[in-house]
Structure 1
Amino acid sequence: MTCTTLEFYRFGFFGQNYGNMSLQNASVTFSVQGAKFQYFGMVGVQSTSSMYTEVINMMTSVSYSSSEGNNVGSVFGYQGAKNCSIQNASVVGGNISSGSSTVGGIIGQQYNNLMVINSSLQNSNVLGSNSVGGIIGSQTGNATIQDSSVQNSNISISNYNVAGIIGSCISSELYLTNIQIKLVRISGVQNCGIVTGYDSGTHSFINSKASSNTINGVLQKDCTNLLNSKPVTGC
């Protein structure tokens, strides 16, 4: 699908969903060019009134381009269900770009509990102004990410809070197991990290590796060790 427009609000294959949702066995390629996005993804908004959301076996190759607009991701612009599970989701050759904040390779803005398993971002560009991440732009709530990777991709901001996994991790418990971050080029002004940019929560980084990555910007605390593939917390 190819679409060109001047303004989107809560736009996607599903603009906004208030109930529970299950997306399974989908392969999607589409391109959207617009002057302004708000809440944009395969699902623009998954409401906080939902009890659960699941995504299983999804491959996307998407191109989003916007001069401004918050909450942009390839699968969810804003994901607010009480519990969200994403399994076997991959973004390959994506170009996800907004002139504003909360932009993620898979989810723009994540609120409430999240589990991501065996999912990846590869050969992609994720660009925004603030809170930009390879998997999630901004996360509020607990998150578990395992057996997943971000590889050979550019993740960039014009201001602050950028990282290979999550741009902004707010009041969250974050657990990462068997994660690989490789050949990722991260750039921004401040709060730049391999795993998280801004981070006010607690987390663990287990059996995971970061290698051959580059950062251009002011590092988040303790990122130097992680750049050298040493297991640390706080980055």
Structure 2
Amino acid sequence: MASTSQQIYYLGIIGWNSGNISMQNVYATIQVQGTYFNCFAIIGLQATNSHYAELINLNTSISFSSVSGFYVGSIIGADITDNCYILNTTIVGGNIRSGSNFVGGFCGVVQSGVNLIIQNSTIQKLNISGAYLGGFVGVCQSSLQVINSKIQFVRLSGSNIGIVVGESQNGVYSIRGSTSILNYINNELIHDCSYLSNVWSYVGC
């Protein structure tokens, strides 16, 4: 449990990673309460040059409440590395309530020059609010691949909302075999979005 009224940067199981990292078969329950966090998640900031992060078989229950800040994601707050892989990972929420920008179910922001792959992974029962808000990624400035992954029973509320990506900034997407089922956007039920064959229908702006 982390609780504070002060501004904290790079909060996570790993606050700042600037080298290769591989996390496998991790089971965690994370509870975070506070008034301002910047870049927080299992990895707060993934910042490397010519390195990689592999997050495999993570089974995480999260509860974030009363949180505001930038680059908020249940797995990675901000990804500015060359390559990052999220494989076979399940997130069962709680709440991510952000009063600010760039909020994503998996990752807050994928910055320019980055390749993020999300494969065989699921988000369930998660409430997310904020601006530039995406079920998978808040803001994508580079390359995102979502393969055989799902968001189920996820409630998104705020502005600039996309089921996959909240805001596209010259991002390139590959969405294959992934589904979004029974999600609410600003309290409107979106029933069975089916296969995301046309990703642009699921980008907020």
**Matching residue of 1:113:** 115
TM-score normalized by structure 2? 0.88
**Matching residue of 1:90:** 90
TM-score normalized by structure 1? 0.78
Q: Residues 114-153 of structure 1: matches in 2 within 5 Å?
A: 114-128=116-130, 130-153=131-154
C-alpha distance in 2, partners of 1:228/1:124? 19
Change (3 A) 1:233 1:81: closer
Change (3 A) 1:75 1:230: closer
C-alpha distance in 2, partners of 1:229/1:25? 28
Q: CA deviation at 1:62?
A: 0.7
C-alpha distance in 1, partners of 2:129/2:196? 27
**Matching residue of 1:14:** 14
CA contact 2:104–2:136 (8 Å) conserved in 1: yes
Q: CA deviation at 1:93?
A: 2.7
Is there any run of 5+ residues in structure 2 with no aligned partner, and where? Answer: none
C-alpha distance in 2, partners of 1:47/1:83? 10
Root-mean-square deviation over aligned CA pairs: 2.2
Match of 1:212 among 186, 191, 199: 191
- For CA contacts below 8 A with separation 6 or more, give which structure has more relative contact order: 2
CA contact 1:50–1:80 (8 Å) conserved in 2: no
C-alpha distance in 2, partners of 1:106/1:230? 17
What number of residue pairs does the alignment pair up? Answer: 198
Percent same amino acid at aligned positions? Answer: 34
- Per-residue CA deviations over 1:59-118 (Å, capped at 9, x if unaligned) read 111111245210111111111110111101111133111111111111111121111110
Pick the structure with greater CA Rg.
Answer: 1
C-alpha distance in 2, partners of 1:233/1:156? 20
C-alpha distance in 2, partners of 1:73/1:229? 23
CA contact 1:85–1:114 (8 Å) conserved in 2: yes
> Which ranges of 4 or more aligned residues in structure 1 deviate by more than 2 Å?
65-68, 227-234
CA contact 1:140–1:169 (8 Å) conserved in 2: yes
